[in-house]
Amino acid sequence: MNRFSMTLACVVCIASTAHGDDWPRFRGPGGMGVAPASSRPPTTWDGMTNITWKTPLPGPGASSPVTYGKHAYVTCYSGYGLSKEDPGNKADLKRHLVCVRLADGGIEWSTTVPVHEHEHPYNSYITSHGYASSTPVVDATGVYVYFGTAGLIAYDHKGNERWKKSCGTHYYNFGTAASPILYKDFVIVNADVEDRVTFGLHKRDGTEVWKFKPVDWETNTWDTPLIVPVKGVDEMVCFGDRSRLVGLDPSSGKTLWTCKVPMQSYQCPSQVAHDGVVYAIGNHPGNAVAVRLGGRGDVTASHKVWDINKGSVVSSPIYHDGHLYWAKEESSKLYCVEAASGKVVYEERLEPAVNRMYASPILAGGNLYYVSQTEGTFVVEAKPSFKLVARNVIDSDKSIFNGSPAVSGNSLLLRSDSHLYCISAR
């Protein structure tokens, strides 16, 4: 057994505080936004009701909270880009990783990452979400955070930096948003914006193990990859470019299959999968597509199941009980689609209309939780007939809510630009 394997074994033993309620990455344990069947978080709350604790954050951020054991982790930024009218001095930009105790909301520790010389200026579309949009991923070996041109950084569970890896220095109008994931001994991150590459790095020290670089494809992808077991073999599904889904071997980065899909612009939503089929929604012209997994080579003609002209720009879908659910963020519309056929079951407009919805929904306790930026969280029954259960607004918090909720047992963790909230039935 090598030194890293021995250390990892010790860490796993020590990390006995980890349990089945962990929400360790963007969109939860399986990356598809679905909480354990035993979870029953509240469906109603406000600024006073069912708020167990709220913790002020050092700055805003569009990332989602994650949990591991007795702690939650969330990223923020400060010092620059807090106001469109007066963004300040870019040299003052700092990013933060904050570790919060789940028991009482107290801050266990907080780290600071200084500005990078190739940082994106505060203009164009980055003003919609800022400099901390990638969600951390955590396991027994530590916490892994992607900060775009500032790099991928690995921390131990006490907040000490273990290693740091540059994944490119380019930037794009929309900034960085793809979140890292873990697979076996690898950290995998879509760094299309920074280097037009998806990297597989070793968790031990950040050594590059593999990279996937599309050749002569039109890129601009912000989706977080999804690992799917297919007949005993793991496939990693992501957008290889703006109009092509790809299946990769997550151990080597080797391309297994490609499928041309009817999307024509940048891609942000992450995929979901069920029973050997992957479902993707995308931007302009606004489409959704279903593709059978397990193919090899170009599977466009043989593996595409259906596609429809309904989609989403940012928010990712949910699969549940034979149906897909998602929100179209700037039209206030919620969709329910039959997964087998692509038939639209309902298309409902939320009231009051939402300005924008960047957060991806989660499924817990038979309900879907849709977080809007300014009009609260809409709770909808996860059934193929639309029923609004509740709309929950924290009146005292006038900041933006961009993060997707995390589920911890029977509690929700919800972040805004100003606070992290623990919402539990009381």
The count of other CB atoms within 10 Å of the CB of residue 343 is 12
Q: What share of the chain is helix, strand, coil (3-state, %, to 5)?
A: 5, 40, 50
Residue 190: alpha-carbon gap to chain centroid: 12
pLDDT digits (tens, 9 = 90+) for 97-139: 999 999 999 999 999 999 998 888 999 889 999 999 999 999 9
Taking residues 266-288, report their average pLDDT: 90
- The Cα 112–Cα 196 span in angstroms is 27
- The Cα 194–Cα 169 span in angstroms is 5
pLDDT band at 426 (very low <50, low <70, confident <90, very high): confident
Omega before residue 214 within 30° of 0, cis: no
Q: Which amino acid is at 245?
A: L
Q: What confidence score (pLDDT) does residue 218 get? A: 66
Q: What confidence score (pLDDT) does residue 156 get? A: 98
Q: What confidence score (pLDDT) does residue 3 get? A: 42
pLDDT over 60 (residue 265): yes
pLDDT over 50 (residue 168): yes
Taking residues 243-269, report their average pLDDT: 92
- DSSP structure class, residue 62: -
pLDDT over 90 (residue 148): yes
pLDDT digits (tens, 9 = 90+) for 183-222: 999 999 999 989 999 999 999 999 999 999 876 666 678 8
pLDDT band at 2 (very low <50, low <70, confident <90, very high): very low
pLDDT band at 73 (very low <50, low <70, confident <90, very high): very high
Domains of the chain listed by start with CATH number: 63-213 (2.40.128.630), 214-316 (2.40.10.480)
pLDDT band at 172 (very low <50, low <70, confident <90, very high): confident
Place of tokens 């959704």: 288
pTM: predicted TM-score of the whole model, two decimal places: 0.94
Strand extents, DSSP E, 92-243: 94-101, 107-114, 137-139, 142-146, 152-155, 161-165, 181-183, 186-191, 197-202, 208-212, 226-230, 233-241
pLDDT over 90 (residue 289): yes
pLDDT over 90 (residue 157): yes
- The Cα 187–Cα 203 span in angstroms is 6
Q: What confidence score (pLDDT) does residue 425 get? A: 87
Give start and end residues of each alpha helix (H) in 258-319: 300-303
pLDDT over 50 (residue 9): no
Taking residues 293-318, report their average pLDDT: 94
Nearest to 307 by CA among 386, 243, 255, 350: 243
pLDDT digits (tens, 9 = 90+) for 13-51: 334 355 678 999 999 999 999 999 999 999 999 999 999
